[in-house]
Chain A
């Protein structure tokens, strides 16, 4: 199936731990994104890569570090997790930046 797939779907971890979320798309898109959706369902851009080049780097704590090994993969590493990091993180991809995005199904991160 062609899609944007992200793993894991659920992640429960303790404060202070380091964790990673992985994302892969097989749509042949050249741009990938990480979004954070808070409890009020507001989607906020965090990072975007176009052909492995970082093009959007929003004001997020530097504990968050994206990495794009190739244009089909975009991972998100989070150091020293805090309670406030609990949210749903979505990966998305698009061909260029003015077309609709294809989103993954999300990773629900809970920090306890």
Chain B
């Protein structure tokens, strides 16, 4: 069965303390892997799409990477405003249409 697992479930960092979030998946024929940020009381906000192993995308302090089995969201020198829940989702093979979301990592960055 297609599955997406995110770890850790929750992460507390000091401001400036770099770390990585993990998204592992068991999907054959991956068409895309997506990262979103969700703030409390708001809808998820699209961050990145990765389509093939070895691909990397960057935005400010965030860098997403993709292998054949997992994706990492690296956060370099985080700030308190980076605190949010980070969700990953995969787009399965043609004909299924459906994203599969992970359960997210709740990140808290302390000043």
A-side residues, CB < 8 A to B, are 4, 40-45, 48, 55-56, 90, 92, 97-106
Number of A-B contacts (CB under 8 A): 49
DSSP class of B's interface residues: helix, strand, loop or mixed? strand
Report which of A43, A98, A104 forms a contact with B101, defined as CB distance below 8 A: A43
Please, which residues of chain B bring their CB within 8 A of the CB of A97?
91, 97
Given A97-B91, A99-B49: A42 touches B103 (CB 8 Å cut-off): yes
Please, which residues of chain B bring their CB within 8 A of the CB of A104?
43
B-side residues, CB < 8 A to A, are 31-32, 34, 36, 38, 41-46, 49, 85, 87, 89, 91, 97-99, 101, 103-104
Q: Taking CB as reference atom, which chain A residue is nearest B38? A: A41
Alpha-carbon gap, A69 to B34, bound state (A):
29
Given A41-B85, A42-B103, A98-B91: A105 touches B97 (CB 8 Å cut-off): no
